Amino acid sequence: MSSRRRTKSGPAFHESAALYPGTFDPITNGHSDITARVARLFDRVVVAVAGSTRKKTMFPLKERVRLAEQALADISGLEVIGFHGLATSLARRMGIRVMIRGLRALSDFEYEFQLAGINRQIADEVETIFLTPANRYNFLSSSMVHELAHLQGDVQEWVHPKVAAALHRLHGKSAGRA
């Protein structure tokens, strides 16, 4: 069986590739956990760091990409890229037909369900797969990590050491340490 298949709507799609888009501001151990799970399921994983978003990000796109590369360096078959625009358009351009979305809690589900529905309307050949992180990360969000670091709390349990160091630089000398 060929590793690529042409769809009615155009380009050939990788059968064993997945796109994991997000702002990753910053990437957390929950994101890393989901990425490691995805890498066990697919030969190729593209972590796509969104540059154009309604969210006001604390780290610029280049730094978020760099931090994701560092946090995910031990995962094979992985590529980290920055992008602007729709994730579905990126998936099409890259020939990827599976998009990964993480769910932490029931509160995420409604938004993610709506997003998957609109993505299906835009690109019905790109499927959305939802994954949950390990239980210890079910409550974890980038926003919570930022708030904790801003208030000089210890973030080392929730992010890669390089991310903790970046938060330390951003929020002051005590961020990332107890």
Q: Could you give the residue numbers annotated as active site?
A: 31, 55, 104, 142
Task: List the one residue out of 166, 8, 34, 151 whose CA is nearest residue 99.
Answer: 34
Rounded CA separation 57/52 (Å): 10
Rounded CA separation 178/155 (Å): 8
Buried b (16+ CB within 10 A) or exposed e, 133-159: beeebeebbbeebbebbeebbebbebb
Find all residues with CB under 8 Å of 86, minimum gap 6, and list them: 122
What is the residue type of 164?
A
Which helix (H) or strand (E) segment holds residue 3: the answer is: none
Rounded CA separation 1/76 (Å): 24
Find all residues with CB under 8 Å of 152, minimum gap 6, and list them: 171, 172, 174, 175
